[in-house]
Structure 1
Amino acid sequence: MATTFLYILSLTLLSLTSVSNACPPSERAALLAFKAALHEPYLGIFNSWKGADCCQNWYGISCDPETYRVADINLRGESEDPIFEKAHRTGYMTGSISPAICRLTRLSSLTIADWKGISGPIAPCISSLPFLRILDVIGNKLTGEIPADIGRLSRLTVLNVADNQITGTIPRSLSNLSSLMHLDLRNNSISGTIPGNFGKLRMLSRALLSRNKLIGPIPYSISYIYRLSDLDLSLNQLSGQIPASLGKMAVLATLNLDGNLISGPIPPTLISSGISILNLSRNAIEGYIPDAFGPRSYFMVMDLSHNNLRGRIPKSISAATFIGHLDVSHNHLCGPIPAGSPFDHLEASSFVYNDCLCGKPLTKRC
């Protein structure tokens, strides 16, 4: 009798343990509601979403090993996973991102990327997920605005909404994301100005805001972001002058400002900085190319084409340690092209459509 009792007790304890080691029913229900709002017709990635325990072998779902709460959703439409290799295609999914996702209150990362057909807004309740570190929804057809309260996500390190149809303005609260390291808003229809307090994002290393409808000046405060290495503001409608302080940033290596309405002169600080990719083309920049080249000048790319630059190509350019690609075409430059490096490996297309440049590699002699 005692043996039977102990056997039943052990089975009961085992059952309770297995239940406690599974995801909560409420989180399983939230995931199924999330799934119900999506349609994925080709790969069958949701076929594994069955059974009572969403922490066990549900494709793209990871749980905290101690709490058994859903921690990560990682669904990418472009992947090297065997599902994609077997289908010989990238993913395609329609539908929307259900607000039910916000019931996963321990969620740390949410990646729903490159599905091409997912539409609808980013649910405002996303801002209520206190542990969220990664929000990556690149490559869909999402519409609406970035949630106004996005700045509440104090742990957020990655915000990637690139290649969607996002509208509205950059929320002012975004500057409260003190842990943000990677910001990608490229290829949307975001309008308005870059917030003046953008420089509060002190941990930011990449800020990619190209191909939007941003207007107004480049905030001086950007130069306060001492970790920033990659700044891309190209193909917007930004105006005003380039802050000279950008050239004094400690680790800025890439500065793309091409395709805007920027005017004024080129700050000499950009020429003597540690920037290696500098693209200022297709603006309304005027004045002279600064005679500020020196040993610290190491440019993989320097594109100054399609502006209103005048005067000569400065002789100090020969003092640069390296210039891989230089383009000063479509300006109003005049005088002889300096001989020697870096000009001995450049083509004529780098110098055409100026007022009176002469010398090699152009056919016009001085």
Structure 2
Amino acid sequence: MGRMKVSLAALVTLAFCFSANACPPGDRAALLAFKAALNEPYLGIFNSWAGTDCCTNWYGVSCDPDRRVADIVLRGESEDPIFEKAGRSGYMSGEIAASVCQLDRLTTLVVADWKAIAGEIPACIPSSLPILRIFDIVGNQISGKIPADIGSLGRLTVLNLADNKLTGAIPPSIVNLGSLMHLDLTNNKLTGEIPSDVGKLTMMSRALLSRNQLTGSIPSSFANIYRLADIDLSMNRISGSIPAQLGTMPVLSTLNLDSNRLSGSIPTSLLSSAGLNVLNISRNSLEGNLPDVFGPKTYFTVLDLSYNQLRGSIPKSLSSAKYIGHLDLSYNHLCGPIPVGSPFDHLEASSFANNDCLCGSPLRTC
């Protein structure tokens, strides 16, 4: 009889330990349903998703102090030993199941660079994951629209939906993401206009919207975003003029507007900006003369004004610039002598090709 009591006590202790080390059944069930919608045939990363404790040794899963699932981080391009041992990047098909929305304590959802994950973004994510901070699904085949209520993710700091097949417009609610720092919608099939009040995203440091089918004009409210260092709107169908306010932004260092349908003249503020050091406004329909506003503070690692309708001469003040790395003025209607000295003494003829009547080194003599 005594032996029976001991074994019962041990059993109770074992059961207690078991429950203490198990994650909530609801979280575990949600993860297993999430796993069931995906197929990862080569690395076996989901083999670790076994047993009752999804907080320990489940690949890519971590929990908060209350043992609720807080992070799912699954990257198909990683330095993890699993990838190095296999000598390959990841490949996964299937889709992101709506069961992920049952993980209401999730702060990080990364399912990135798996190449073949398709389907749509679960519509329940914005309303069901109130404390989500990072949402990164770059490098898949995800289609459909960005959820209309994406703006309700009030704590989101990173939204990376790049390199997918998303369609439709950028939801107007996106401007309500008051904590957003990094926005990347590059290389999708998004249409419509950039929300005119994008300037409400006052915490944002990077706005990457290139390689879509966006139309309309560049919102001047971008200039209201004090921290914004990188704007890339290249390879879209954006028209109208370039807002002069962009040249007054205090920390903007990279502005890529190439391969659009922009017209009008180049704002002098862009070329006289002391902070801007990468400016690519090539392959548009910009016209007028090149502003003569360069000086000792001018520092461009890239200044590409090629394939436009620029006229007049090359400003002599360019030779007073502190540094000009890559300069491309080709395929315009420029005329007259190329200034002498730096940076012109290290540039090749291709930087000036196909203008109306430029002359001087490195082209023909005047």
Question: TM over 0.5: same fold?
Answer: yes
Query: Which residue of structure 1 aligns with residue 63 of structure 2?
Result: 63
* 1:222 counterpart SS class: helix
Residue segments in structure 2 that go unaligned for 5+ positions in a row: none
Query: Which residue of structure 2 aligns with residue 53 of structure 1?
Result: 53
Residue type at the aligned position of 2:71? D
Output the CA distance in 1 between the equivalents of 2:179 and 2:7: 52
Output the CA distance in 2 between the equivalents of 1:39 and 1:5: 48
Residue segments in structure 1 that go unaligned for 5+ positions in a row: none
1:360 paired with 2:343, answer: no
| Greater mean alpha carbon deviation, residues 315-324 or residues 17-26 | 17-26
Query: Which residue of structure 1 aligns with residue 74 of structure 2?
Result: 75
How far residue 67 of structure 1 moved from its aligned partner, in angstroms, is: 0.4
How far residue 171 of structure 1 moved from its aligned partner, in angstroms, is: 0.3
Residue type at the aligned position of 1:293? F
* 2:228 counterpart SS class: coil
Count, aligned residues = 364
Query: Which residue of structure 2 aligns with residue 30 of structure 1?
Result: 30
Query: Which residue of structure 1 aligns with residue 334 of structure 2?
Result: 333
Output the CA distance in 1 between the equivalents of 2:83 and 2:3: 53
Output the CA distance in 2 between the equivalents of 1:14 and 1:206: 51
| Greater mean alpha carbon deviation, residues 288-297 or residues 41-50 | 288-297
How far residue 9 of structure 1 moved from its aligned partner, in angstroms, is: 5.2
Query: Which residue of structure 2 aligns with residue 300 of structure 1?
Result: 301
Output the CA distance in 1 between the equivalents of 2:287 and 2:10: 83
Output the CA distance in 2 between the equivalents of 1:288 and 1:6: 93
Output the CA distance in 1 between the equivalents of 2:358 and 2:28: 70
Output the CA distance in 2 between the equivalents of 1:41 and 1:335: 63
Query: Which residue of structure 2 aligns with residue 40 of structure 1?
Result: 40
How far residue 365 of structure 1 moved from its aligned partner, in angstroms, is: 1.3
Query: Which residue of structure 2 aligns with residue 282 of structure 1?
Result: 283
Residue type at the aligned position of 1:191? T
Query: Which residue of structure 2 aligns with residue 322 of structure 1?
Result: 323
Measured against aligned partners, the alpha-carbon deviations of 1:225-270 in whole angstroms (never above 9, x if no partner) come to: 1100000000000000000000000000000000000000000000
* 2:119 counterpart SS class: strand
Output the CA distance in 1 between the equivalents of 2:292 and 2:4: 93
Output the CA distance in 2 between the equivalents of 1:118 and 1:34: 12
Output the CA distance in 1 between the equivalents of 2:223 and 2:133: 25
Q: 1:67 to 1:365 in 2, by over 3 A?
A: same
Output the CA distance in 2 between the equivalents of 1:106 and 1:20: 19
* 1:54 counterpart SS class: coil
Output the CA distance in 1 between the equivalents of 2:11 and 2:133: 40
- After superposition, residues 1-150 of structure 1 pair within 5 angstroms as 12-13=12-13, 15-64=15-64, 66-128=65-127, 129-150=129-150
Residue type at the aligned position of 1:73? I
Residue type at the aligned position of 2:86? A
Residue type at the aligned position of 1:227? R
* 2:199 counterpart SS class: helix
| Greater mean alpha carbon deviation, residues 342-351 or residues 2-11 | 2-11
Measured against aligned partners, the alpha-carbon deviations of 1:138-182 in whole angstroms (never above 9, x if no partner) come to: 000000011100000000000001000000100000000000000
What TM-score results when the alignment is normalised by the length of structure 1?
0.97
Output the CA distance in 1 between the equivalents of 2:212 and 2:263: 19
* 1:193 counterpart SS class: coil
How far residue 16 of structure 1 moved from its aligned partner, in angstroms, is: 2.2
| Greater mean alpha carbon deviation, residues 41-50 or residues 20-29 | 20-29
* 1:247 counterpart SS class: helix
Residue type at the aligned position of 1:327? D
Output the CA distance in 1 between the equivalents of 2:109 and 2:41: 22
- After superposition, residues 183-332 of structure 1 pair within 5 angstroms as 183-273=183-273, 274-332=275-333
Residue type at the aligned position of 1:320? A
1:344 paired with 2:345, answer: yes
Output the CA distance in 2 between the equivalents of 1:206 and 1:6: 63
* 2:301 counterpart SS class: strand
Output the CA distance in 2 between the equivalents of 1:92 and 1:159: 22
RMSD: 1.5
Residue type at the aligned position of 2:123? P
Query: Which residue of structure 2 aligns with residue 182 of structure 1?
Result: 182
Output the CA distance in 1 between the equivalents of 2:340 and 2:155: 53
| Greater mean alpha carbon deviation, residues 43-52 or residues 77-86 | 77-86
- After TM superposition, which residue ranges in structure 1, 4 or more long, deviate above 2 angstroms? 1-18
Output the CA distance in 2 between the equivalents of 1:320 and 1:6: 86
Query: Which residue of structure 1 aligns with residue 151 of structure 2?
Result: 151
How far residue 30 of structure 1 moved from its aligned partner, in angstroms, is: 0.3
Output the CA distance in 1 between the equivalents of 2:116 and 2:206: 27
How far residue 43 of structure 1 moved from its aligned partner, in angstroms, is: 0.8
Output the CA distance in 2 between the equivalents of 1:4 and 1:157: 57
Identical residues among aligned pairs (%): 65
* 1:121 counterpart SS class: coil
